[in-house]
Structure 1
Amino acid sequence: MARKIGSRYTAHQILGRGSAGTVWLGEGPEGPVAIKLLREDLASDQELVGRFVQERTALLGLDHPHVVGVRDLVVDGNDLALVMDLVRGTDLRTRLDRDRRLAPEAAVAIVADVADGLAAAHAAGVVHRDVKPENVLLDMQGPLGPGGAHPALLTDFGVAKLIDSPRRTRATKIIGTPDYLAPEIIEGLPPRAAVDIYALATVLYELLAGFTPFGGGHPGAVLRRHVTETVVPLPGIPEELWQLIVQCLAKAPASRLRASELGVRLREQLPVLAGMPPLDVDEPESEAEGAYDAASQPESEAAGVSSAQGESERERVRRGAVPLVRGAAPDSNRDTHTSMRVPAPDELAGGARGTARAPRASGAPRPGSARHRAMARRRRVTLGTAAVVLAAAIGVGTWVATSGDNADATPQDTKNSAPASP
């Protein structure tokens, strides 16, 4: 059913839902548009509405081929909406869900597009703060690029900043998506352009590997890994590309590349990556433990998993689906604008192993799994049997050698060896 948004726009049908609001296919004076209608509780926050209006000039001024343009901001009664260019295609998360991982050439081409969009935004003083596959759109009507990649556009500029207002979050809270949060945000520092570079490098790693470098398990464990652990190398990619990823995942913001530099350096890698197939690695085992004890947190900040919920619930936690509000259905830890407690220094320092979870060769069993234990038992039995056979073979060989010496002795030899008669 059609819905009026302000005096100039009409929303016709829902295209998608997110934690911050709903995206509609709409119509405006200049044709089809996408309308992001923010949640009603956000629209009723007068301070947020004021910030919304203040951001208008910066957001409307972002004009780049790899940025989804914001055409208008609408404040009308209970409606708070961003009117954006309509991109005919899909988002990068949907592509990942279908293909699991991309060929390196296509992955690098997509990330280079996003880096170019970020460079334009950073030059205008705008930090995205929530770069992730859900916020990268692929234009299916655009010309194909290297590796058959569709042009990539970054969307949802300004949404994280609007929601992260002083009244809505305290200094003890983190707003963001755990898998892509830069260490400085976790440590309570203000987000600057370098946080987008860290998140984009995480996206590139995920496109190549099929999983994020520090994800898995409870969000608290994910936060700790960002701060304390180093990224594990991905086998099978050129060293120069790997060094780019490492530099952009540096813990120190000043060590990371700028967006403009990253875009150029990535495109330099494209000829080397041409024709390279997707990597053949499996996701490492997720930790069941986390840096937080969920039961010790307030109800609004985390949720525990009781023993009464059974093994299936605990399995969901190990796979990264954790309910962030007690009693709620489990969410993906990639959901936008997750509100989490800032970890204390001792929590971030505790349990670090120095290196993040290592990817496994394709087909290899997960450490600690039933298959892994069965294979270990088979190896022990095989080694034990081989040892027995080897020992038996050595014994038989010794007996044969001794018998052979006696059998080959001549009568003369025997006589010569006899003691002299008295």
Structure 2
Amino acid sequence: MTRKIGSRYTAHQILGRGSAGTVWLGEGPEGPVAIKLLREDLASDQELVGRFVQERTALLSLDHARVVGVHDLVVDGNDLALVMDLVRGTDLRTRLDRERRMAPEAAVAIVADVADGLAAAHAAGIVHRDVKPENVLLDMQGPLGPGGAHPALLTDFGVAKLIDSPRRTRATKIIGTPDYLAPEIIEGLPPRAAVDIYALATVLYELLAGFTPFGGGHPGAVLRRHVTETVVPLPGIPEELWQLLVQCLAKAPASRLRASELAARLRELLPLVAGMPPLDVDEPDTEPSQAEEAYEDSAPEPREPSPRRGAVPLVPGSAPADSNRDTHTSMRVPGPDELAGGARGTARAPRAAGAARPGSAKHRASARRRRITLGVAGVVLAAAAGVGVYAASSSDAPPSAPDTSSPVSP
């Protein structure tokens, strides 16, 4: 299982896997490290290797307590690896999978830590582009913060940008994870610092609610919601925290806070959420709506699986690329007509208990029953009207003359 990485590092065991590569527990001259060994197809891409070398200085210079630091870049034969700080703990996705949702105080403290890391990166001119729970590590050996939260560190800085080379994705592709993509990325604009704020606000919403504000259903529908729909309110949180979420989930990038402002505002709100239990909110239906089913029906027939599985195609005709939901997903930028396909309004709006979600199978069945009932009623009324007309016309007609014609002989 042990393997050498360059001349200075040894990888001992696998800690995790992602679309970009495999993370190993390793050893270097200064002690234990984490080694992110990129996939062989990425390591063999000379253009990509060149981009990593060009970005090496920026990656190594990003030194902050809330960022998983990069110590070295190894290019050795078919090996392309990032040597990083070893964080003794777990990632935020694992904790979410276990707890489903978090108490607001712990959620706010964790997101404030991540915002601090983003502020340092943005000040250095680096945009993360793939902020999500999988890329937030919790240091289980660090001191506990508000709400019993472990210190949070953001990892994988620069990886999305480096992999998203023009040759790999062309001008019609975007890289990111659908649930956390800012609207401007979906519309094809270049990613700026504001895309990280939008993604981090989505993470905070998910920590509080147990689900992302625009996720669920077909990935194409997720993209449409980001662009066309407003976020569903979360009952039970202070109004100040909700307004902060709304501002950072604004469709217009300029309306969002900067990372340093977000971190400061979140820490100001910690006393308001101290001691609050996790929210008791209903998770949205996962059943696809009629629009989503129509969208899926219009997609091409699935192809034969390839040896290396790729991303979920987000629009009809797009080919799978180089990832999955857990990490980067490569997508074709949908056109205005495709984005306009979703209903405008509030994403997955609350409804009365027991009521069917508009567009769901239950809702359509109910509508079908109403149409049948109305149709039958219409037929009955039409028949009754016909009988009445016939009766009236029969009573008003003059008596018919006797038949005086002679029978026709054979």
Q: What's the TM-score bracket when you normalise by the shorter of the two chains?
A: 0.7 to 0.9
Q: For the structure 1 residues 171 and 90, does the alpha-carbon distance in structure 2 shift closer, same or farther, using more than 3 Å as the test?
A: same
Amino acid paired to 1:356: A
Q: Which amino acid aligns with 1:146?
A: P
State the secondary structure of the residue aligned to 1:282. coil
User: How far apart in 2 are the matches of 1:255 and 1:88?
Assistant: 37
Segments of 5+ residues of structure 1 without an aligned counterpart are 305-320, 378-422
Query: 2 CA distance for matches of 1:22 and 1:158?
Result: 16
What is the match of residue 331 of structure 2? 340
TM-score, length-normalised on structure 1? Answer: 0.78
Question: Would the aligned equivalents of 2:19 and 2:324 in 1 still touch at CA under 8 Å?
Answer: no
SS at match of 2:153: strand
- SS of residue in 2 equivalent to 1:205: helix
- 2:75 aligned counterpart, secondary structure: strand
Match of 1:133 in 2: 133
Contact 1:224 1:291 (8 Å CA) reproduced: no
Q: Secondary structure at the match of 1:115?
A: helix
One-letter amino acid of the structure 2 residue matched with residue 290 of structure 1: E
CA distance in 2, matches of 1:93, 1:129: 17
Confirm or deny: 8 A CA contact 1:220 1:291 kept in the other structure: no
Residue number in structure 2 paired with 1:192: 192
Cα distance, 1:13–1:243 mapped onto 2, change above 3 Å: same
How far has the Cα of 1:59 moved from its partner? 0.6
Distance in 2 (alpha carbons) for counterparts of 1:177 and 1:227: 15
Q: CA deviation at 1:86?
A: 0.2
Q: Which amino acid aligns with 1:339?
A: S
Q: Distance in 2 between matches of 1:191 and 1:7?
A: 36
Match of 2:176 in 1: 176
| Aligned pairs (5 A) from 1:193-342 | 193-286=193-286, 287-288=288-289, 289-290=291-292, 293-294=295-296, 303=302, 334-342=325-333
Paired residue total: 354
Instruction: State the match for 1:160 in structure 2.
Output: 160
Look up the SS of the partner of 2:331 in the other structure: strand
Structure 2: segments with no counterpart, 5+ residues = 304-310, 370-410
Corresponding residue number in structure 1 for 2:108: 108
Task: State the alpha-carbon separation in 1 of the partners of residues 200 and 116 from structure 2.
Answer: 11
Whole-Å Cα distance in 2 between the matches of residues 31 and 266 of structure 1? 35
Inter-CA distance 54–296: structure 2 relative to 1 (3 Å threshold): farther
Distance 1:254 1:369, change over 3 A: same
Write the letter of the residue equivalent to 2:170. Answer: R
1:351 to 342, 347, 367: 342
The offset of 1:343, in angstroms, is: 0.8
Structure 2: how far apart are the matches of 1:127 and 1:26? 27
TM-score (normalizing by structure 2): 0.80
Identity %: 88
Match of 1:56 in 2: 56
Q: What's the CA shift for 1:356?
A: 0.6
- Give me the whole-angstrom Cα distance separating, in 1, the residues matched to 2:313 and 2:255: 35
Amino acid aligned to 2:257: L
Q: Is the 8 A contact 1:219 1:333 kept in 2?
A: no
Say which SS state the counterpart of residue 168 (structure 2) adopts. Answer: coil
SS in 2 for 1:55: helix
Question: Which AA in structure 1 matches 2:167?
Answer: R
- In structure 1, the partner of 2:389 is none
Change (3 A) 1:74 1:295: farther
Using the alignment, how far apart are the partners of 2:113 and 2:293 within structure 1?
35
SS in 1 for 2:216: coil
The answer (yes or no) to whether the contact 1:292–1:347 under 8 Å persists in 2 is no
Deviations 1:253-287 (A, max 9, x none): 00000000000000000011111000001211133
Residues 2-23 of structure 1: CA deviation (Å, up to 9, x unaligned): 1000110000000000011000
Change in 2 beyond 3 A, CA 1:205/1:366: farther
Q: Secondary structure of the residue that 1:290 maps to in structure 2?
A: helix
Deviations 1:168-203 (A, max 9, x none): 011111211000000000000000100000000000
Conserved? CA contact 2:127–2:193, under 8 Å: yes
1:221–1:132 distance in 2 versus 1, CA, 3 Å: same
Amino acid across the alignment from 1:45: D
SS of 1:27 mapped into structure 2: strand
> Within 5 A, what are the aligned runs for 1:325-404?
334-358=325-349, 367=357
Letter in 1 for 2:135: N
1:167 partner SS: helix
Report what 1:313 is aligned to: none
C-alpha distance in structure 2 between counterparts of 1:280 and 1:267, whole Å:
23
Q: Note the C-alpha offset of 1:359.
A: 5.2
**Does structure 2 conserve the Cα–Cα contact (< 8 Å) formed by 1:108 and 1:270?**
yes
Report if the CA contact (8 A) 1:284-1:366 is conserved.
no
Deviations 1:276-316 (A, max 9, x none): 000001211133443984565678xxx59xxxxxxxxxxxx
Aligned amino acid, residue 129 of structure 2: R
Residue 80 of structure 1 and its aligned partner are, at CA, apart by 0.5
